[in-house]
Amino acid sequence: MIDPTSPNRFNEEQATYTVRGSDAPDLEAGVAAIRNVVQTLPVRPGVYRMQDAKGEVLYVGKARALKNRVANYLHVTRLTKRLQRMVAQTRSMTIVTTNNEAEALLLEAQLIKRYRPPYNVLLRDDKSFPFILLRADHDFPRIQKHRGARRAKGNYYGPFASAGSVNNTLNALQKLFLLRSCTDGFFKTRDRPCLLYQIKRCSAPCVGRIDTAGYAELVDDAKKFLAGKATDVQAKLGAQMTAAAENMDFELAAVIRDRLRALTFIQGTQFINAEGVGDADIFALAAHEGVMGIQAFFIRGGQNWGHRGFFPAHTGDVAETEVLTQFLAQFYEEVPPGRTILVDRELPESELLAEALGEAAGYKVAISVPQRGTRKRLLEQAQRNAKEALERRLAESTTQARLNREVADFFELAEPPQRIEVYDNSHIQGTAALGAMVVAGPEGFRKGQYRKFNIKRPETIAGDDFGMMREVFSRRFARALEEDPDRDSGEWPDLVLIDGGRGQLNAAKAVLENLGIEDVCLVGVAKGPHHGREGREVFHLMDGRELTLPVNSPLLFYLQRLRDEVHRFAIGAHRAKRAKAIGASPLDDVPGIGPARKKALLMHFGTGRAVRNASLADLQQAPGVSAAVAQQVYDFYHAR
């Protein structure tokens, strides 16, 4: 890809032409600045940036002939109102020449993503797409979800439209091929099979339940499946099941039968029949009331890898074909294109766009509008989805729907969350320690699904917030894996908020990684530098980023409400447990100790264990405890 920060990549160096004037919009000053640039421009391909008086980028454009394209802005009466406003704000321009127009198109997309100018069509949903990575750096390759730079050695399959799409495929691969998903560190420390082996999601290579050759065969089958050769895999499994049955190995035959059922189920759930299409991306655009929506379908190896809706920004008076062209150029900035791109309308620059994408990808890319057959049917389905998604977008007028959408945008979720879980711990110096979980959805709090977790594992130190968080998450998600491994009950969270900072977040993250769960979005909610002031919360993300919101943001108020609710529930449960502990304690067995003295002792020492371990002198210092009572308590615990 082109590096926009390196002008030496091009034939001519970057040059800036400036006419300074008032900071206020002034059409004449803007035209003067542009005219000054036009006088020195070459007639060759390149990219131009329009900047305001502060140097902020207003617009990025590309041209086959820079001089001719930029000169069009001097004919103000021919421009739309939007472009007239842009010209009025322009005070300087930056010009970069390129070798050809395809190179200019790629650079334009990079600069738009970098500067996000207010007068360009913007792909707002520009977060990275998930891939499946089948690693090749281990004797027993791990299969995992992957986002970001593809540096690890192995095979990458994608993009998938959403975390849900990649999770479904990963679940399918684990059912079918029993490939491990645990980290290498977890793999090394195992001395017995984990839960995934018990539920037939892993072949347990960590403890020698399968040898290297057998595991390699499973990996090859998985590669064939991901390459669209599911029929070959099905035929192979069928032959193995028949052979096992003929050899009277009915236990093995039953295992293979279950794998075949999983494959049949997966094929049945791929409701889009894309056989013969190969690798293709399908895009359809719908527009209504000035809002545009684009629906994208991803087909790889004839398999449907999901679809996602996009709603580009700054599309006011821009032609639909230009919006779709700009969208595709930005979309493929980091996503490898399919060899075939199907669109629902003719694009004026389709050949140029295909050339640019092919140059960046290293293989030929074709853009076309299908007229018949399977491809036409797939495009019609994308058009229906685009229209329906836009209608839903326009219909989302309730406050809660808007807040959920803002939550998704703020935390970079693929879709508005249907289930948010919020966690907190509560204790007093380790006594009555418990963890709490509250649940919220589009309809509000789901109080029937609140849960409390009494801290009871011997390895968890009472009062250790990180250890308590580890126990809570271990119990919650190990049980979820056991009871609902397919995640079809609706009780898996789309977003998890943790009351705490980086330490609590890392403790929870480590637990999920050990369980092989890498697709749950975790966010730590800390009070920030001003612990006593509302509105200064800091949101810690898993990738190390820290986000904040304006103090008057409705989204901040909503997230505070979620945090306050888990506080309320955790403190209430803690108080009830503490009251119960006070009402029923080991001190009940001490003769002559009534409720008042029992409470005094517990309030002074904190726990019944501390009372038992206290010296006689310490017992005598407790308020309301006489020397005789102190002696009586001491003798009860230390008598031989």
Q: What are phi and psi of 78, to 5 degrees?
A: -90, -10
pTM of the prediction?
Answer: 0.59
Q: Given this model, what pLDDT does residue 93 score?
A: 93
For residues 190 and 193, what is the distance between their CA atoms, to the nearest angstrom?
Answer: 7
Q: Given this model, what pLDDT does residue 368 score?
A: 93
For residues 400 and 561, what is the distance between their CA atoms, to the nearest angstrom?
Answer: 13
Cis amide leading into 591 (omega within 30): no
Q: Given this model, what pLDDT does residue 471 score?
A: 92
Beta 495-499 vs 521-526: how paired, if at all? parallel
Q: Given this model, what pLDDT does residue 19 score?
A: 45
For residues 484 and 269, what is the distance between their CA atoms, to the nearest angstrom?
Answer: 18
Tokens of 489: 């009950």
Full set of structural domains in the chain with CATH: 7-115 (3.40.1440.10), 131-269 (no CATH), 280-395 (3.30.420.10), 420-563 (3.30.420.340), 585-638 (1.10.150.20)
Q: Given this model, what pLDDT does residue 259 score?
A: 77
Q: Given this model, what pLDDT does residue 610 score?
A: 80
Q: Given this model, what pLDDT does residue 324 score?
A: 94
For residues 299 and 637, what is the distance between their CA atoms, to the nearest angstrom?
Answer: 72
Question: What are the C-alpha distances in Å from 517 to residues 129, 199, 481, 541?
Answer: 18, 15, 9, 16
**In angstroms, how far is the first alpha carbon of the chain from the final one?**
81
For residues 44 and 68, what is the distance between their CA atoms, to the nearest angstrom?
Answer: 9
Q: Given this model, what pLDDT does residue 617 score?
A: 83
SS3 sequence, 316-359?
CCCCHHHHHHHHHHHHCCCCCCCCEEEECCCCCCHHHHHHHHHH
For the chain, the farthest-separated pair of C-alpha atoms sits apart, in whole angstroms, at 104
For residues 610 and 454, what is the distance between their CA atoms, to the nearest angstrom?
Answer: 20
At 622 the three-state DSSP class reads coil
In the chain (640 residues long), the average pLDDT of successive 10-residue segments reads 42 44 73 91 92 91 93 91 91 92 91 90 73 89 85 85 77 84 87 87 90 89 77 78 82 77 60 67 89 89 80 86 92 87 92 91 91 89 91 72 88 90 83 87 85 86 84 92 81 92 91 89 82 71 89 90 91 77 63 75 77 82 81 75
For residues 326 and 324, what is the distance between their CA atoms, to the nearest angstrom?
Answer: 6
Write the DSSP symbol of residue 127.
P
